[in-house]
Amino acid sequence: MFSKLRKTFDFFRPGHNTTAKVYDDMLGEFGLALDEKTKIPSVNMGFWKEIPQIKPDSIHHANREMFRIVGEAARFSEEDSHVVDAGCGFATNIKYCIENHRIQKITGLNVSPFQIEWGNRLLNKSGLSHKGEVINGSATDMPFASESIDRVVSIEAAFHFETRETFFEEVKRVLKPGGILSMADLVVCTPKNALQKLFVKSLSKTLHVPKENVYNFEEYVALAYKSGLEILHIETIGKEVVNPFHKWFWRRPVSEFFNYNLIWSVLGIGFMFARLDYIRIVARKK
C-alpha cells in the first residue's frame, strides 16, 4: 500500500511522468486486467465484434481478437525473416504470432523495463525464445538497419509515441520494399468543449499521451497518407473497441479497481469520458 502511494506521488512530480512509469509503476503486473487462469495481463482495449457477451473475463478474449485481426492483415509468410512488434506490452502478441503464424523471428520493442523482463520470461517459459525476444528500444528510433525488416505490427501503442509522425518515418526507413505495416491504435480526439479538454488533459498525464498526438480520425488518416507508405486499408474500428471496452470496464468487480494505484485511477477517469476512437491501418513500403 505504502509503496503504491509512493509510486503514485513520484509519478505526479514534474518531469517524472513517462510512458515507462505508466506501465512499470501504475499498471504493474496486473495491466488492465489479469487473466486468472493463465496469470497473463491484458494491456489493450480489445476487439469485441465476435464476442457475444461482455463478462468480466471477456477482455482476454477480446485482446486475442485484436492480435488476430492485426496479425491476419500483416500477411506473414514463411519467407519473412524478421518481424517487429512496436510497443509490444508483455509480449503476449509475440507469443500469439509465433503460435499462430509462420514467422522465423519476431522482436518486440518496449520502453518499460518491467514489461521487457516479464515478456522475455513469458517467451522463455513458453519455449518460444528461439523465435521471439523483447528488447529495450523506442518505436521512434528503432535499433534496426534501413530496409532490414519484413513486417511491422503495432497494437494500441502509437498514441504514446513521440510522435506518431516520427514512427511512420521509422517504419518507412526499416521496412524492406514491399514490407508491410499492420497496426491498430487508440485515437484520442480533439476535445470539443472545456470539460472534454479537462478529460483529455488528465488522460494525457495519466496515460502519457503527447499533445501532438491528440487529433481526430480524419487527421490520422491524412497523416498516414502523408507518410509516403502505400495505404492498403484504413478504417475506424471505434464501435468494436471503445464502447464495448467501456461496458466491460464498468461491469467488473469493484475489488479489481484496487489493483490500480488509486490516485492514478481517479485521474484516469479521462479514459472513460474523453472522446476516443480507434483506427486500423495496413500499409506497404513502396
Ligand X SMILES: C[S@@+](CC[C@H](N)C(=O)[O-])C[C@H]1O[C@@H](n2cnc3c(N)ncnc32)[C@H](O)[C@@H]1O
Total chain residues near ligand X (CB under 6 A): 23
Q: Which is nearer to ligand X, 26 or 200 (CB)?
A: 26
Q: Which is nearer to ligand X, 38 or 178 (CB)?
A: 38
Using the rule CB under 6 A, is 206 a contact of ligand X? no
Using the rule CB under 6 A, is 110 a contact of ligand X? yes
Using the rule CB under 6 A, is 157 a contact of ligand X? yes
> Can you list the positions of beta strands (E) in 56-148?
83-86, 106-110, 132-136
Among all chains, which residue has been given the C-alpha cell 506473414?
A: 76
Q: Which residue sits closest to ligand X, CB atoms considered?
A: 89
Binding mask 52-91 for ligand X (x = CB under 6 A): ----------------------------------xxxx--
Using the rule CB under 6 A, is 122 a contact of ligand X? no
- Categorise residue 262: left if φ over 0, alpha if ψ from -120 to 50, beta otherwise: alpha
Using the rule CB under 6 A, is 111 a contact of ligand X? yes
3-62 positions binding ligand X, by CB under 6 A: 19, 23, 43-44
Residue 187 is placed in which grid cell? 485515437
**Smallest distance from ligand X to CB 257, Å:** 18
Widest pairwise Cα distance in the chain = 53
What's the chain's length in residues? 286
In this structure, are strands 106-110 and 132-136 parallel, antiparallel, or unpaired? parallel
Using the rule CB under 6 A, is 204 a contact of ligand X? no
Which SS3 state, helix, strand or coil, does residue 189 take?
A: coil
How far apart CA 237 and CA 235 sit, in angstroms, is: 6
For residue 111, give the amino acid letter.
Answer: V
Which residues contribute to the site for ligand X (CB under 6 A)?
Answer: 19, 23, 43-44, 86-89, 92-93, 109-112, 115, 138-140, 155-157, 160-161
